């Protein structure tokens, strides 16, 4: 069953259950400065989940295109995409758990035709501290539903994902209880981060099992629904908003309970064809096949490049079809980045000529069923993207010429030269380095550090000129994001203490869900090093260390306080320094603009999910707080 059919069947199925089909919101929300793009199916419905009456009634459904660029560099694996579509249905004080669980199970097994034996679910284990009981109601409903389908469904107590990685699953188990890091919904994240006055509650996630052969135990641990391995993939989440947080921090039951359901269209489509690779579904496979045709190369041998191109051009088309044009500001810049990353990957495949004219019509046809209410500029989308492709190819040609001029001076190119190529001519750093290697042009020993310094100086100028914009690699200044920011300082301190004292930050990207941290290191971290770093960070968290800051003269911060900083010659004469732990013998002391938590005990359990190469001499850690 193809994705367009699944979308249509979902909306028809929900209509029969009394839901009103509402129009999806555009990817770019007008009048919402808090986010670049619509990032989830429920985002446009938030006012109604918070109590506002919806003009269409209490039963609603839609299919919402969404975009998240936080993990753009993860695109290339079998399931990460920047664009995705969420099938959603909502009960605003109408039905609750039983009707929702039964309805979704029927849709998956009857309408889509999934094997019920390959469906696994999770429920909330409860929280004794806040007096919130385990969600036995949802678990018992699931048991009845599975029993009626002739499927054994034992309940397992897991708790944390870490325990699951060690324990795995046992024969007959199908319903799993996890803690609030996995099965609790609030706008702030876990229970501790639930905002005062907000509705919140347990959720029940649904997973599809792609088979035991997909699990990499050495890399991810034992298989279980909340693991990072490829065996299980989440295909839907049912949030049961039955509580609110009170002024004193406690929780009480809501009189009017809501259901917020979101199911990934691409992931359900992948389950329908039995492939854990979402790039083989109908919305993406035709793009891949055209890339194979025009490049003369196979998908199996060039998966990263073709997945990036297919994903990015799909996203760029949806933005162009909504009337957005590439630019150097906010959403337009994100769109430009998608197009240019796709073009660079096309060059990697040997596609030198213009190729969007062949790819974009395929994407447009894939999305012919989306309503005109959001794709208001379908007719001009191709023209918009072809113009950007032409501009960027001219940019690449200019950059190549300038690179040649610089290399004729018989000197090693330094990081400032490479920064100039990027800043003035739009010639990307990676392409400059690659061309130097290809043409035998010498690079200075510290070209990366020099480039980072020039880039940091430019960012400092930009930040000074635009007060109020988020800084330091943070997606926002929400409570959970701030926690990750503080955890990043602990991570750097642990790396310097246990791995190498000269380790420095080479970049970071921090969201409410995870931290991505780049640092210099000339080798892959050993399992022992990763374990030691993770343990050290958690010991500092458990010690509940104070986090304080003050402003100091630059010389005093550097020479007396020995604060960690990377670009002392670029810093202003007065700067802010954050200290974690005892002031005279700190765990961490860094030049930083903030914000941070006030003490480490609120962070939760720190876990390294992945350590990998980012580029030559630079490693990357992805970590979460559980």
User: Alpha-carbon distance 533 to 301, whole Å?
Assistant: 35
Report the alpha-carbon distance of residue 574 to residue 552 in Å, rounded: 6
* Cα 552–Cα 553–Cα 558 angle in degrees, nearest 5: 90
- Which region among 70-84, 287-301, 429-443 has the lowest average model confidence (pLDDT)? 429-443
CB half-sphere exposure, 153, CA atoms < 13 A: 24
Cβ neighbourhood burial of 326 (10 Å; 0-12, 13-18, 19+): buried
> Phi and psi for 123 in degrees, rounded to 5?
-140, 170
The region of weakest confidence among 94-108, 258-272, 574-588 is 574-588
What is the rounded average pLDDT of the residues 98-115? Answer: 98
Q: What pLDDT was estimated at residue 376?
A: 93
Written as six digits, the tokens of 504 are: 């420095």
Task: Show the tokens assigned to 65.
Answer: 């295109």
What is residue 413's predicted lDDT score, i.e. its pLDDT?
87
The mean pLDDT of 518-522, rounded to a whole number, is 89
Report pLDDT digits (tens) over 214-272.
877 888 889 999 998 889 999 999 999 999 999 999 999 988 899 999 999 999 999 99
Q: What is the predicted pLDDT for the residue at 410?
A: 61
- Give SS3 for 466: coil
| Per-residue pLDDT band at 469 (split at 50, 70, 90) | very low
Report the C-alpha gap between 150 and 144 in whole angstroms: 10
Q: Do 263 and 42 contact (CB within 8 A), yes or no? A: no
In angstroms, the CA 203 to CA 146 distance is 18
pLDDT at 540 over 60: yes
The one-character DSSP state at 474 is: B
Mean pLDDT for 492-510 is: 90
pLDDT digits (tens, 9 = 90+) for 164-189: 999 999 999 999 999 999 999 987 78
pLDDT higher than threshold 60 for residue 136: yes
pLDDT at 471 over 60: no
CB 188 within 8 A of CB 194: yes
How far is residue 155's CA from residue 169's CA, in Å, rounded to a whole number? 10
Task: Please state the rounded mean pLDDT for residues 202-211.
Answer: 97
pLDDT > 70: percent of the chain: 95
Q: What is the pTM of this model?
A: 0.73
Residues 299, 307: Cα–Cα separation, whole Å: 9
What is the pLDDT, as a whole number, of residue 584? 82
Q: For the segment 41-62, what is each residue's pLDDT rounded down to a tens digit?
A: 777 787 888 788 999 999 999 9
Closest C-alpha to 593, from 471, 446, 449, 441: 471
Q: 356-366 vs 378-407: helix axis angle to the nearest 10?
A: 150
Confidence of residue 149 (pLDDT cuts 50, 70, 90): very high
pLDDT, residue 33, reads: 58
Question: Phi-psi bin for 121: left (phi > 0), alpha (psi -120 to 50), beta?
Answer: beta
Distance CA 287, CA 159 (A): 41
Q: What is the mean pLDDT of residues 282-299?
A: 97
pLDDT at 463 over 70: no
pLDDT of 595 over the 50 cut: yes
Burial 597-624 (b: 16+ CB within 10 A, else e): bebbebbbbbbbeebeebeeebbbbbbb
Average pLDDT over residues 155-162: 94
What would the mean pLDDT of 445-473 be, rounded to a whole number? 65
Model pLDDT for residues 372-415, shown as the tens digit of each residue: 989 999 999 999 999 999 988 888 888 888 888 887 766 788 99
Please tell me the least confidently modeled range out of 144-153, 265-274, 461-470, 571-580: 461-470
Q: Is 62 helix (H, G, I), strand (E, B) or coil?
A: strand
Residue 73 token pair: 């560099």
Top-ranked range on mean pLDDT: pick from 278-287, 478-487, 551-560: 278-287
pLDDT at 464: 56
Residue whose structure tokens are 């100091």: 552
Burial-class residue 148 by CB neighbours within 10 Å (0-12, 13-18, 19+): exposed
Instruction: Map tokens 């079998």 to a residue.
Output: 78
Highest-scoring range by mean pLDDT, 149-163, 191-205, 329-343, 568-582 = 149-163
Instruction: For each of the domains in the chain, give its residue range(s) and CATH number, in order of start.
Output: 3-279 (3.30.930.10), 284-389 (no CATH), 409-469 (no CATH), 479-625 (3.30.980.10)
Residue 532: which pLDDT band, with cuts at 50, 70 and 90? very high
Structure tokens at 27: 């990817």
In whole angstroms, give the CA distance from residue 234 to residue 161: 14
What's the pLDDT score for residue 470?
Answer: 35
Inter-CA distances, 282 with 1, 103, 117, 278, Å: 9, 25, 24, 9
Alpha carbon distance 131, 125 (integer Å): 12
* Token pair recorded at residue 79: 């399931």
């Amino acid at each position: 069953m193809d994705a367009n059919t699944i979308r249509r069947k979902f909306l028809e199925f929900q209509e029969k259950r009394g839901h009103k089909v509402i129009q999806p919101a555009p990817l770019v929300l007008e009048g919402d400065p808090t986010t670049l793009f619509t990032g989830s199916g429920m985002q446009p419905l938030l006012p109604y989940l918070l109590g506002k009456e919806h003009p269409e009634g209490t039963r609603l459904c839609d299919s919402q295109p969404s975009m998240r660029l936080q993990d753009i560099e993860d695109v290339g694996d079998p399931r990460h995409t920047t664009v995705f579509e969420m099938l959603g249905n909502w009960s605003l004080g109408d039905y609750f758990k039983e009707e929702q669980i039964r309805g979704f199970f029927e849709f998956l097994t009857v309408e889509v035709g999934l094997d019920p034996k390959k469906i696994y679910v999770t429920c909330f284990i409860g929280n004794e501290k806040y007096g919130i009981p385990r969600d036995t109601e949802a678990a018992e409903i699931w048991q009845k539903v599975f029993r009626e389908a002739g499927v054994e469904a034992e309940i397992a107590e897991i708790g944390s994902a870490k325990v699951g990685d060690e324990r795995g699953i046992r024969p007959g188990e199908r319903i799993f209880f996890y803690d609030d890091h996995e099965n609790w919904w609030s706008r702030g994240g876990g229970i501790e981060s639930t905002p005062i006055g907000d509705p919140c509650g347990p959720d029940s996630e649904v997973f599809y099992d792609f088979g035991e052969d997909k699990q990499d135990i050495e890399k991810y641990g034992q298989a279980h629904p909340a693991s990072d391995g490829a065996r299980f993939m989440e295909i839907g989440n049912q949030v049961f908003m039955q509580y609110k947080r009170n002024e004193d921090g406690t929780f009480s039951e809501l009189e009017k309970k809501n259901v917020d359901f979101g199911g990934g269209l691409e992931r359900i489509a992948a389950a329908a064809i039995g492939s854990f690779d979402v790039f083989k579904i109908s919305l993406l496979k035709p793009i891949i096949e055209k890339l194979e045709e025009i490049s003369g190369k196979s998908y199996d041998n060039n998966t990263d490049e073709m997945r990036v191109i297919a994903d990015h051009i799909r996203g760029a088309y949806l933005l162009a079809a909504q009337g957005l044009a590439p630019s150097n500001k906010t959403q337009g810049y994100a769109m430009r980045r998608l197009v240019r990353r796709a073009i660079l990957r096309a060059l990697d495949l040997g596609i030198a000529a213009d190729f969007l004219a062949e790819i974009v019509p395929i994407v447009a046809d894939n999305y012919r069923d989306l309503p005109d209410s959001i794709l208001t500029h379908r007719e001009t989308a191709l023209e918009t993207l072809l113009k950007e492709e032409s501009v960027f190819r001219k940019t690449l040609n200019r950059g190549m010429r300038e690179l040649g001029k610089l290399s004729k001076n018989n000197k090693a190119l330094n990081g400032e030269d490479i920064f100039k190529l990027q800043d003035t001519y739009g010639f990307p750093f990676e392409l400059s380095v690659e061309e130097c290697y290809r043409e035998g042009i010498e690079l200075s020993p510290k070209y990366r550090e020099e480039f980072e310094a020039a880039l940091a100086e430019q960012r400092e100028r930009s930040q000074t000129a635009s007060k109020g914009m988020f800084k330091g690699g943070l997606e926002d200044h929400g409570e959970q994001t701030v926690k990750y920011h503080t955890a990043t300082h602990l991570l750097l301190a642990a790396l310097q203490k246990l791995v190498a004292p000269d380790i420095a930050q080479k970049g970071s990207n921090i969201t409410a869900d995870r931290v991505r941290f780049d640092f210099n290191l000339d080798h892959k971290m050993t399992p022992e090093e990763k374990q030691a770093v993770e343990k050290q960070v958690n010991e500092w968290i458990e010690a509940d260390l104070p986090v304080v800051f003050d402003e100091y003269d630059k010389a005093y911060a550097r020479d007396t306080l020995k604060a960690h900083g990377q670009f002392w010659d670029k810093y202003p004469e007065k700067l802010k320094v954050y200290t974690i732990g005892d002031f005279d013998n700190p765990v961490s002391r860094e030049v930083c603009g903030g914000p941070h938590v006030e003490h480490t005990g609120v962070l939760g359990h720190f876990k390294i999910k992945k350590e990998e190469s980012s580029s030559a001499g630079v490693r990357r850690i992805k970590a979460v707080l559980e």
